[in-house]
């Protein structure tokens, strides 16, 4: 039996690729691969060679892969749920803190200071950049998969009052969720009461623009929104209006675009949710093991 051929598209850590071992030919210029492994690059159907059997996404979302077309052609698609959950959780906590405490504005302001009396000038910033603590505030977590559960539990430990909502999993059945997380039976309740809302759901036809005009109309004035999931979950025009009207005070998005980038109140983050060496290794190793198990043993496992 010849070697299995694996095409790498982008962003796969060496620790992961090394797991393929000697029975694999791995590279970015392979024309007739048995499998493809990729991170965020968009994969088009035209790139499917005849004998392609499987594709592994080293990450949670699969919206960069034409999954339906793959199913029709019998190509198995894997993703790596949970492998980057800790990295995203940490960024979600940072996002709540940096939007509340005006950390980015404060840093930019401090960098612009000049003169011999810097300590004196710095004192002025104290009042200018004061912001509320997150302890005791209400957080709504939308989506209780691996990432949402970790964010909810971390927020409980930070003494926030946490409400969980998931369109598919009941709060009672979200694995590993702290009992301190309260159930939001419907989104309106969560919108009405929460000071912070964080999204941890995939992008689908149902979830696209889930936060739009109607949702913002229900929200508590001054709410802070964190979106580390996918940009299209939020309607850009509607959140710009909600920011202008003061309904939303801050929007931390891991998916900045031209419309949003300079809007006051938008904190653009360059898709850093999963960008830690630990998460990149976890995702790559999991994706490689999935491909190997499938090609060598015919097993399909998404973990
Ligand atoms: C994900 O879907 O898990 C992230 O988009 C991963 C990444 O940053 O590549």
Question: What is the structure's pLDDT at 11?
Answer: 82
Q: Which atom of ligand 1 is nearest to the CA of 40?
A: 9
Q: Is 47 a catalytic residue?
A: no
| DSSP state for residue 220 in the 8-state scheme | P
| Ligand 1 mean position, distance from CA 49 (Å) | 25
User: What's the CATH code, domain 4-81+277-297?
Assistant: 3.40.50.720
Query: Which CATH fold would you assign to the domain 85-268?
Result: Rossmann fold (3.40.50)
Q: What is the pLDDT of residues 190-220, one digit of tens each?
A: 999 999 999 999 999 999 999 999 999 999 9
Q: Which atom of ligand 1 is nearest to the CA of 61?
A: 2
Domain ranges of the chain: 4-81+277-297, 85-268
The residue nearest atom 6 of ligand 1, judged by CA position, is 59
Sheet holding 223-227, edge to edge: 182-183, 161-165, 138-142, 196-199, 223-227, 248-253, 266-268
Question: Residue 17: how many CA atoms within 13 Å on its side-chain side?
Answer: 18
Residue length of the chain? 303
138-142 and 196-199 strand pairing: parallel
Of 47, 90, 271, 278, the active-site residue reads: 271
| Ligand 1 mean position, distance from CA 274 (Å) | 6
Q: Is 69 a catalytic residue?
A: no
Distance between CA atoms of 77 and 65, rounded to whole angstroms?
8
| Ligand 1 mean position, distance from CA 202 (Å) | 11
Q: Is 188 a catalytic residue?
A: no
Rounded mean pLDDT for each run of 10 residues along the chain, 303 residues in total: 87 94 94 94 79 94 92 94 97 97 94 92 90 98 97 98 93 94 93 98 95 98 98 98 98 98 97 97 97 96 76
Q: What is the pLDDT of residues 99-156, one digit of tens each?
A: 999 999 999 999 999 999 999 999 988 889 999 999 999 999 999 999 999 999 999 9
User: What ipTM was estimated for this complex?
Assistant: 0.92
């Amino acid at each position: 039996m010849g070697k299995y051929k694996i095409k790498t598209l982008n962003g796969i850590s060496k620790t992961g690729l090394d797991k393929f071992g000697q029975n694999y030919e791995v590279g970015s210029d392979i024309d007739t691969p048995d499998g493809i492994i990729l991170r965020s690059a968009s994969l088009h159907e035209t790139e499917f060679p005849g004998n392609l059997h499987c594709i592994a996404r080293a990450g949670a979302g699969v919206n960069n892969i034409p999954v339906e077309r793959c199913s029709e052609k019998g190509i198995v698609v894997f993703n790596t749920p949970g492998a980057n959950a800790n990295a995203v959780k940490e960024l979600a906590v940072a996002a709540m803190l940096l939007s509340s405490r005006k950390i980015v504005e404060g840093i930019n302001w401090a960098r612009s200071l000049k003169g011999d009396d810097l300590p004196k000038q710095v004192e002025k910033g104290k009042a200018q950049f004061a912001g509320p603590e997150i302890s005791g505030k209400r957080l709504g977590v939308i989506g209780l998969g691996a990432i949402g559960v970790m964010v909810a539990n971390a927020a409980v430990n930070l003494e926030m009052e946490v409400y969980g909502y998931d369109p598919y999993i009941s709060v009672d059945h979200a694995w590993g969720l702290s009992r301190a997380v309260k159930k939001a039976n419907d989104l309106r309740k969560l919108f009405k009461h929460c000071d912070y809302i964080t999204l941890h759901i995939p992008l689908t036809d149902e979830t696209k623009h889930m936060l739009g005009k109607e949702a913002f109309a229900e929200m508590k004035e001054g709410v802070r929104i964190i979106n580390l999931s996918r940009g299209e979950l939020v309607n850009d025009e509607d959140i710009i209006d909600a920011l202008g009207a003061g309904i939303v005070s801050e929007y931390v998005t891991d998916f900045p675009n031209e419309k949003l980038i300079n809007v006051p109140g938008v904190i653009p983050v360059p898709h850093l949710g999963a960008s830690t060496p630990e998460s990149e290794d976890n995702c790559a190793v999991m994706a490689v093991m999935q491909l190997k198990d499938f090609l060598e043993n015919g097993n399909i496992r998404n973990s």
